[in-house]
Each structure stands twice: as C-alpha cells, then as structure tokens.
Structure 1
C-alpha cells in the first residue's frame, strides 16, 4: 500500500502537471488568438485598400467617359473642318501654280524689257 506521503507527492505532481497543461493550453490559445487577430487586421487592411483602389478606378472611369465624349465632339468638329481644309489645299495648289505663272511672266517681261531697251538704244543712234 501506498503511504500517505507518497499519495500526497503523487497528487502534488498531478496538480503540477495539471497546472502546467492548463498554462500550456492558455498560452497556446493566446498565441492562436493573437495570430487570428493579426490575420483579421491584415484582412481589414486589405479590404480598405481594395475599397480605395475601387474608388480611384471609379473616378478614372468617369474621366475616361468624359474624355470619350470630348473626343467624339472633336471628331465631329474635325469633320466640319475637312471641307475647309480641302479648300485650303486647293487654294494652296492654285497659289503655287499662280506663282509659277508669275515667275514665267516675270522672265518674259524681263526679256521683253531687254529687247525694248536694246531696240530703243539702237534706233536713235541710226
């Protein structure tokens, strides 16, 4: 039979073991709780970041939509100006041709002027 001292020592070891196990479970539960809180904090931060990005892209969508309307209006105005640009091109072509004709006439006039001057100088001396 076990003596009361041995039974008390065995009970003390069981109490120490139970206390150690209880402390272990408490510490493990605190650690798991801390990990879960950290994960929850990260997820909350990620959610806030996603909301911020969604807001920013939403405003980009509004800007892009406005730009699309602006480009369409510019295209309509450009089509209205195409008639005028074709007229300007035609006028530019005509001016270039006119300049060539004026240059030819200038050369002709210059030649005629020389002939008249030479005829004028030759006639009075004879």
Structure 2
C-alpha cells in the first residue's frame, strides 16, 4: 500500500502507523524547510519597502509644496500681466491724447 506523499507503507498495527506518521512528518519538514527562510527574507524585504516608502513620501510632500508655490507664482504673474496691460493701455491713451508738436 502506498501512503501519503509517496511514502511506502507496509504492514499494520499502531507501531507501523506511528512509523509512517514519523516518516510523513520528516518528509513534510524537509519539503517546507525553506519556507522559514523565505518568510524571513520576505519580512526583511517588506521592511526595506517601508523605509523606501517613507523616503518616497517625503519627496512627494516636497513636490506638493513646490506645486503649490508654482500655482501661487502663476497667480502673481497673471495679476502682474493684467497690471502691465492696464499700464500699457494708459500710456497709449496718454500718448494719443497729448498734443503733438
């Protein structure tokens, strides 16, 4: 009779079942031995990602602050542009209204 995980099983009785169980436990332990290392490696990787995310978050905040400053600067430029246009119109009007010699 063939047991679980391809472990041959012969005989009967409690001692044979215990022997089979022991072999199965050893086989499973062998197969899953590397998973502890894998889990540990994944934990380290996740911690590194958290650190990178923290650094990335700082840069995103700086970019957001710069974007806000640029928006404010664009507003000031637009206001100055309108003011300059108004001054140009006044100068033109003044030049047109002044008597020419």
- How high is the TM-score relative to the length of structure 2? 0.60
Identify which of structures 1 and 2 has the higher relative contact order when contacts are C-alpha pairs closer than 8 Å and 6+ apart.
2
* Superposition RMSD in Å: 3.0
Aligned residues: 83
Mark the structure with the bigger radius of gyration: 1
Q: Secondary structure at the match of 2:70?
A: helix
- Structure 2: segments with no counterpart, 5+ residues: 8-23
Asked if residue 71 in structure 1 is aligned to residue 29 in structure 2, the reply is no
What does residue 70 of structure 2 align with?
95
Runs (4+) off by over 6 Å: none
- Structure 1: segments with no counterpart, 5+ residues: 1-39
Q: Secondary structure at the match of 2:98?
A: helix
Asked if residue 84 in structure 1 is aligned to residue 59 in structure 2, the reply is yes
- How high is the TM-score relative to the length of structure 1? 0.50
